[in-house]
Amino acid sequence: MKSFTFRDENGKFYFGWWIVLAAAIFCGLVYSGIVSVTGVFLMPVTQSLGLPVAGYSFYITIMSLTNIVTLLFISKYLNERNIKKIMIVAGILGIVSFIGFAMAKSLMWFYIFAIPQGFCFGAFTMTPCQILVSNWFGEKARGRAMSIFLAIMSIITVILMNALNYVILSYGWRTGYVILAVCVAICVLIAFKAVVWSPAQKGIKRVGDLDESEMAAMQQGEVSGIGFAAALKKPITWLAFISCTLAVIVSSSILQHGIATMVIGGISQTKATALISTMSLVMIVTGPIIGIICDKFRLSVAAAGTALFFALAVFGLAYTGTAAWGTPVFMIGYMFGVPAINIISPLMMSHMYGEKELGRLIGYVNVFVGIGGAIGATAVGVLYQTFGAYHIPWLIMTGVLVVVAIIRGICTSSKRKYTELKEQ
């Protein structure tokens, strides 16, 4: 079978592409509904209920910590027998969480319902969806299938963000949360029909698998690299993990506070939402550009460069509303800086330690990413209340990203590159 095709060996439309579409819908509506569109709600909710920004933002910390615990607990149960059941239960809890938010009368409502939302985030969105897409596409087609999945997800996110902004401004934030509950309900119904563990369950061959000669050649060579336990003994490993946490502290805080910063700076919420969503669309192109730089040039160029672009973005955000160049600098820096999160972070591990136990190392990367998500929004909320404006908090975050650039430049240097001849 061809390595990349839309049909199976029987000439029918390959079911794996329905998996890709379903995964994109789940993440576009549920993942984005939980984290990517939170900034649309911040000002309407806090002003309506008279809530402190830091206090409201803290629900994201509770949600993120629940997500980390969920991933640690369910990872061994995401298998052929259980994945659909787990996703459906998680989806139902997601519906409950958004209905709870819609009924909120105080901060405690958000804190309580952030717990089922965290379970939904971990057990229904990115992790199980990535597993399903990987199961349905072999090595020759998996990268393209993943890129299509993420591209469709980005488009859905943009539509959702702008639609929610219209709903909130026209009908109120409570209606916005009800809409998100309906979106999760639709995804649960799709999951009943679409979630299938692998092509074997459908009795068809997987698209993109290596042929017999390629498999034999691959099996002759032993995967090289430094073991997981040995890697954890190196201080540089923990420094790399910390850089992931620091980078996500900033990215998660932008998701929560970016739109609010623009609105305070004199930009309407509708325009601010449109600007943020436009960046999401453009990143469909800028992400692959960063990937090409990683492949064609030294990884250190992309690793330090993306962190510095991200720092430039946050520096621009600090001057949004007070300088004409603030918003354009933020947008350009953000589009080329965000790949520091989802592209550079895992590549650091393979650069330093090879392929031997890369999966376990990337698992640790995701844990530290989750820690950053738990800290970011609340940290900037506290800083905002302390200084009475977003200017100083974003300058502090700029400094954080400069530190990330330095750490990643060290981690991805030629001195740190793993080779079989230089196993440390």
Q: Which residue has the higher pLDDT, 9 or 165?
A: 165
What is the rounded average pLDDT of the residues 402-419?
Answer: 89
Q: Which of 205, 239, 273 is the last residue of a domain?
A: 205
Q: Does residue 178 sit in the same domain as residue 247?
A: no
Q: In sequence order, what DSSP letters do the residues of 18-59 get, joined into one string?
A: HHHHHHHHHIIIIIIIIIITHHHHHHHHHHHHT--HHHHHHH
pLDDT digits (tens, 9 = 90+) for 224-249: 678 878 888 899 999 999 999 999 99
Q: Would you say residue 80 lies in a domain? A: yes
Which residues make Cβ contacts (< 8 Å) with residue 401, sequence separation at least 6? 246, 247, 250, 307, 308, 310, 311, 314, 337
Q: What's the mean pLDDT in 272-301?
A: 79
| Nearest one of 53, 69, 32 to 374, comparing CA atoms | 69
Same domain assignment for residues 260 and 183: no
Determine, yes or no, domain membership for 122: yes
- Are residues 191 and 242 located together in one domain of the fold? no
- Cα→Cα distances 304→316, 348, 395, 401, 404, Å: 18, 11, 19, 10, 8
Q: What is the pLDDT of residue 46?
A: 94
**Most confident of the following: 89-98, 120-129, 206-215:** 89-98
* pLDDT surpasses 60 at 408: yes
Same domain, yes or no: 414 and 385: yes
Cα separation, 139 vs 343, in Å, equals 18
Q: Are the beta carbons of 378 and 313 closer than 8 angstroms?
A: no
Cα–Cα nearest to 195, from 82, 298, 46, 352: 82
Q: How far apart are CA 337 and CA 326, in angstroms?
A: 16
CA distance 272 to 376: 20
65 pLDDT higher than 80: yes
Task: Identify the pLDDT of residue 349.
Answer: 83
Of 293 and 332, which is predicted with more confidence?
332
pLDDT of residue 137: 81
What mean pLDDT is reported for the chain?
A: 86
Residue 384 falls inside a structural domain: yes
Residue of 396, 286, 294 whose CA lies nearest to 345:
294
Domain extent for 147: 15-205
pLDDT reported for residue 222: 56
Query: Does the pTM exceed 0.85?
Result: no
Closest-CA residue to 266 (of 227, 188, 324, 192): 324
DSSP label of 390: S
Take residue 355 and report the two structure tokens written for it: 């392929």
pLDDT above 50 (res 395): yes
Checking if the pLDDT of 223 tops 60, the result is: no
- Residue position matching structure tokens 């990683």: 294
Asked whether residue 5 is assigned to any structural domain, the reply reads: no
Q: Which of 23-37, 94-108, 277-291, 320-334 has the highest mean pLDDT?
A: 94-108
In a domain, 211, yes or no: no
Between 349 and 119, the higher pLDDT residue: 119
Give the lowest-confidence range in 59-63, 89-93, 342-346, 393-397. Answer: 342-346
Q: Are residues 371 and 252 in the same domain?
A: yes
Residue 252 has pLDDT above 50, yes or no: yes
Query: Residue range 139-152: average pLDDT?
Result: 77
Distance CA 267, CA 388 (A): 19
CA distance 122 to 63: 10
CA–chain centroid gap for 301, Å, is 23
Average pLDDT over residues 151-180: 92
Give the Cα separation of 110 and 98 in Å (integer): 9
Q: First-to-last CA distance in the chain?
A: 42
For residue 424, the model assigns a pLDDT of 45
Find the mean pLDDT for residues 107-124.
Answer: 95
SS3 assignment, position 391: helix
User: Could you tell me if residue 240 is inside a domain?
Assistant: yes
- Over range 280-305, report the average pLDDT: 79
Maximum average pLDDT range among 197-211, 242-256, 394-408: 394-408
Evaluate whether residue 213 is within a structural domain. Answer: no
Question: How far, in whole angstroms, is CA 324 from its chain's centroid?
Answer: 30
Q: What is the mean pLDDT of residues 43-69?
A: 91
Domain count, the chain: 2
Q: Are 163 and 29 in contact (CB under 8 A)?
A: no
% of residues, the chain, pLDDT over 90: 42
d(CA 64, CA 70): 10
Mean pLDDT across the stretch 85-111? 96
CB contact at 8 A, 160 and 29: yes
**Bigger pLDDT: 424 or 238?**
238
Q: Please indicate, yes or no, whether residues 48 and 159 belong to a single structural domain of this protein.
A: yes
pLDDT bin (cut points 50, 70, 90) of residue 309 is very high
Residue 215 pLDDT: 46
229 lies in the same domain as 147: no
CATH number, domain containing residue 266: 1.20.1250.20
pLDDT bracket for residue 62 (50, 70, 90): very high
> Are 63 and 189 in a shared domain?
yes
6 domain residue, yes or no: no
* 356 pLDDT more than 80: no
The SS3 of residue 323 is strand
Last-in-domain residue among 177, 205, 233 = 205
Task: Please check whether residues 238 and 168 belong to one and the same domain.
Answer: no
Asked whether residue 114 falls in the same domain as residue 258, the answer is no
- Which of 332, 306, 283 minimizes the C-alpha distance to 150? 283
- pLDDT reported for residue 139: 66
Q: Which residue has the higher pLDDT, 38 or 9?
A: 38
Q: Is 172 left (phi over 0), alpha (psi -120 to 50) or beta?
A: left
pLDDT of residue 365: 80
Give the type of residue at 317: L
Looking at the fold, whether 258 and 302 belong to one and the same domain comes out as yes
For residue 421, the model assigns a pLDDT of 44
Mean pLDDT of 83-102: 96
Compute the distance between CA of residue 79 and CA of residue 160 in angstroms, rounded to an integer.
Answer: 30
**Are 183 and 299 in a shared domain?**
no
